[in-house]
Amino acid sequence: MTVALGLAPADADTDVPGLLAASYRRLASLCEVLTVRITDPRQLGPRTPCLMEGQEQVEAFVDAEAARIQDRFGHTAPRHVAASRALHDYAWSVGLLMGGVWYLDRRVPRIAPEDVRIDLASGTFEITPGAHLACLPDDPAAALYGALSVAQEEALRGELRRAVADHMGPVLDAMAPYARRGSRALWGMVADDLVSGIWYLGRVLGEEATAVRAATDVLPSALAPFPDGAGFRHLRTADGHEHPTRTRTGCCLYYTIRPGDACSTCPRTCDTERVRRLGG
């Protein structure tokens, strides 16, 4: 895989938060559906609430999602559906921030739950760049304070899995009573969103096959706490082209809002329907 590092050797005297801020901005510019603002860690004054500040914030997070579903679809979602949809959006956004930086720059940012804040009115995520990342030994960032150098690519993929799991563990604990789903379903959603974020970024860049291989390398099989691997397969359309697809492990419950329009990777969506959507 060919990946531009995005940091010239001459820039090696910058700091980790500065590098991560640049990477997040690049991701936001590439990914139209990633609604994220990058904030300065030195920022003073009032700040957007953090999901991990207590039960009141979690409940407000779920209420805000329920209101968005009502406004967008004219549908009154049960509370567990709103919670699952909110959690899916959170896991996808955080997974793309971590997995996207890994994919583009071969760096894994450590994002603490407290680094992520959510504007409940707009649904926009705010990320404060942290001071820690993992990278490969030949990356100029390896010389920076807060950088962990790991020996090879698989070790770096392990750091990505660990960073996502460490971030999402407390979030799942906070959200589980509202989503009313078991551990396998919740961690399955996190795995799905990590894989789908990398896959999405590859499509944006016009390198879908490369991204599918990369996502498969990150989750080749079930690796605790993730209950399943990427599981890509291919479908052939009438024009002879093959298209990657996969079936989600953890459902995002969109089908409960639009029963006739389940996600293309939903277990409820058969291959015939997937081929139809692909234009075959």
Residue ranges per structural domain of the chain: 16-229
- Burial pattern 24-39, b for ≥16 Cβ within 10 A else e, equals beebbeebeebebbbb
pLDDT of res. 123? 86
- Residue 10 predicted with pLDDT over 70: no
CA distance 102 to 122: 27
CA distance 8 to 6: 7
- The pTM of this model reads 0.91
- Residue 143: which residues within 8 A CB-CB, separation 6 or more? 12
Does 263 score more than 90 pLDDT? no
Q: Is the separation of the CB atoms in 226 and 206 below 8 Å?
A: no
The 10s digit of each residue's pLDDT in 157-203 is 999 999 999 999 999 999 999 999 899 999 999 999 999 999 999 99
Q: What mean pLDDT do residues 146-156 have?
A: 97
**What's the distance, CA 275 to chain centroid?**
26
Task: Sort 80 into a burial class: Cβ within 10 Å, 0-12 / 13-18 / 19+.
Answer: middle
